[in-house]
Structure 1
Amino acid sequence: MNFETYPFEKLNDLLEDITSNSEYELSSLTIGEPQFDTPQFIQRSLQDSSTLLNKYPKTAGEEYLKDAMQGFIQKRFGVELSASQIIPTFGTREVLFNFPQFYLFDKTNPTIAFTNPFYQIYEGAAIASRAEIIHIDLTKENDFQPILDDETLKKCDLVILNYPNNPTSANISVDDLATWVKKAVEFDFVLINDECYSEIYFDENNKPCSVLEASIKAGNPTFKNVLALNSISKRSSAPGLRSGFIAGDEALLKEYMKYRTYVGCASPIPLQKAAATAWSDEAHVKVFQETYKENFEIAKELLGVEIPQATFYIWLEVKDELKFTQELYKEKHIKVLPGSFLGRNGMGQGYVRIALVESAQKTRKVLTRLKDFIDGQS
């Protein structure tokens, strides 16, 4: 398999021969990993469950974890799922990689489409599936919205959307997502929405929607050909718990569950206990949302960027993203990720991705340095 080098490895190569300004402490704004402690009540749940390490976990997930996830979906999106319409997973990365391989295995000439720029696991899954790739290009001109004509959609076996979007921070309306659901049913392709940033939002009256909501709105209450993925990594500042789910089409999930029995990616029981605790609580999520909102208010003040509906990313437009990244690192000891490392066919060129995942105090300090750098280029 010929996999593309991962973006962070490309960044290391790009900066390898550059001596950075030692006057400043290194500030890395590259990775989407919350830099906050996992809340104590979640940690205690993990600690209190450590004696359960002597038991094998169920591949299908423990009932209390499924109950917590179903409860989250009902409270957050107003969608009631049966136990057969959801599978707890070991985060979402493994699902995004292995579900396409499972689903596309019996297709003669498999075709997968996904948003571009993208989370690189989508491309890796396509390569591992020997699938033809169709890029759904996201540009400033189309407001970073997913658009494919019907003739192209007819070729697709699987489509992966990612809203709220990494890296552009764009979101999609429930009506537009419902249109995608209708196309998935009409042209018989599976539609996945990767929703792992759905809980990093800043307005209670303007929350990101789920493809499960859109499916019901589209007149598809059984979620035929529709799957939602989500995780607590961003929501609860707990990426190490590796707790996610895939939910939707019961018939698809029944067969996928058989496949997962062989994969061997069941979550250890103490992790499931802690994850159930996290999925069942909303108060801690609000605290993180306020922190990220404050970070964006600082970014708006210093950089003039608009606060997005969701995510913790700035998709900053620059003249030359590679040169910008190198010079910023050299002069201010700040790392950002060139947008072109996240896209293909020119997507992402002229942008850098900035992850606002630190405290407000640290964010103001580093964004002030970034502003000084940008002002110095003017």
Structure 2
Amino acid sequence: MNFEIYPFEKLNELLEGITPNNEYELSSLTIGEPQFETPQFIQDELKATTLLLKKYPASAGIPELKESMINFVFKRFNVSLNNEQIIPTFGTREVLFNFPQFALFDKKNPIMAFTNPFYQIYEGAAIASRAEVIHINLDESNNFKANLSDEELRKCDLVVLNYPNNPTSAVMSIDELAIWVKKALEFDFILINDECYSEIFFDEAIKPPSLLEASVKAGNSEFKNVLVMNSISKRSSAPGLRSGFIAGDETILKEYMKYRTYVGCASPVPLQKAAAVAWNDEKHVEGFRQIYKQNFEIAKEILGINPPKATFYIWLKVDDELQFTKDLYKEKSIKVLPGSFLGRENAGQGYVRIALVENAKKTKEVLQRLKDFLDG
């Protein structure tokens, strides 16, 4: 298998030999990893359940974890799921990688489409599945919203969307997602939405919708051909818990569950216990949302940017993203991620991704440095 190196490795190569300005503390705004303590009540549950390390974890997940995830989906999206319509996973990276291999295994010449620029695991999954790729190119002309022609959709076996979107921060409406659901039924392909940023939003009146909601609105209440994935990592500042799920089409998930028993990626029981209390609680999530909202208010004040509706990313337009990244690192000791490292076929060119995952004080200081660089 010929995998591309990850964007962060490309960044290290790009910056190799460049000495950052030692007048400033080195600041990395590259990775989407919240820099906040995991809430104490989650840590306490993990500590209290370490005796359960003596047990082998079940691939299907402990009942209270599955129940907490079902509760989350109902409270957040007003969608009712049964136990056969959801599977706890070891985060979402593993399922995003191995589900396409499962789903496309019996296809003679599989074709997989995904948003571009993208989270690189989508491309890795396509390579591992020996799938031909159709890129769903996102740019200013389409407001970074996914669209493919009917001719392209007829070819597809599997389509992966990512809304709210990494890296562009774009959000698709429930009506726009419902069109995708109808296309998945019309052309009989599996449709996935990677919803890992669904809980990082800033207006209670305009919450990002789930593809599950859109499926119900489209008259597909059984979620035929429709799946979503979500994770606790961003929501609860707990990426180390590796707690995610895949939910939707019961028929597909029944066979996928058989596959997972062979994969051996069940989460340890103490992690599942801690994740269950996290999925069941909303108060701590609201607290994190306020931090990110404040960071974007700071960004608006300093950089004059309009805050996105969701995610914690700034998708900043620049002239030459590679030169910009090198010069910013050298002059202001700030690391950002070139957009072209996240895309193919020129997607992401002319942009850098900036992750606002620090506290307000640090965010303000670093963004002021960035502003000075932009003004220089």
TM norm. shorter chain > 0.5: yes
Unaligned 5+ segments in structure 2 are none
Q: What's the CA shift string for 1:113-170, capped at 9, x where partnerless?
A: 0000000000000000000000000001110010100010000000000000000000
Partner of 1:115: 115
Q: What's the CA shift string for 1:235-273, capped at 9, x where partnerless?
A: 000000000000000000000000000000000000000
Q: What's the CA shift string for 1:216-252, capped at 9, x where partnerless?
A: 0000000000001000000000000000000000000
Equivalences for residues 95-244 of structure 1 within 5 A = 95-244=95-244
Task: State the identity %.
Answer: 74
Q: State the SS of the aligned residue for 1:228.
A: strand
Unaligned 5+ segments in structure 1 are none
For the residues of structure 2 that align with 1:116 and 1:49, how far apart are their CA atoms?
41
For the residues of structure 2 that align with 1:290 and 1:150, how far apart are their CA atoms?
41
Equivalences for residues 212-361 of structure 1 within 5 A = 212-361=212-361
CA shift, 1:327, in A, is 0.2
For the residues of structure 2 that align with 1:33 and 1:256, how far apart are their CA atoms?
29
For the residues of structure 2 that align with 1:305 and 1:134, how far apart are their CA atoms?
32
Partner of 2:26: 26
Q: What's the CA shift string for 1:174-208, capped at 9, x where partnerless?
A: 00100000000110000000000000000000000
For the residues of structure 2 that align with 1:313 and 1:12, how far apart are their CA atoms?
20
For the residues of structure 2 that align with 1:78 and 1:188, how far apart are their CA atoms?
26
2:181 aligned partner, one-letter code? V
1:126 aligned partner, one-letter code? A
Q: TM-score, normalised by structure 2?
A: 1.00
Q: What's the CA shift string for 1:266-316, capped at 9, x where partnerless?
A: 000000000000000000000000000000000011111111110000000
Partner of 2:8: 8
Partner of 2:69: 69
For the residues of structure 2 that align with 1:215 and 1:321, how far apart are their CA atoms?
38
For the residues of structure 2 that align with 1:289 and 1:350, how far apart are their CA atoms?
29
Q: State the SS of the aligned residue for 1:278.
A: helix
Q: What's the CA shift string for 1:59-111, capped at 9, x where partnerless?
A: 00000000000000000000000000000000000000000000000001000
Q: State the SS of the aligned residue for 2:358.
A: coil
For the residues of structure 2 that align with 1:63 and 1:52, how far apart are their CA atoms?
15
1:87 aligned partner, one-letter code? I
For the residues of structure 1 that align with 2:115 and 2:321, how far apart are their CA atoms?
20
For the residues of structure 2 that align with 1:142 and 1:79, how far apart are their CA atoms?
29
Aligned residues: 376
After TM superposition, where is structure 1 displaced by more than 4 Å over at least 4 residues in a row?
A: none
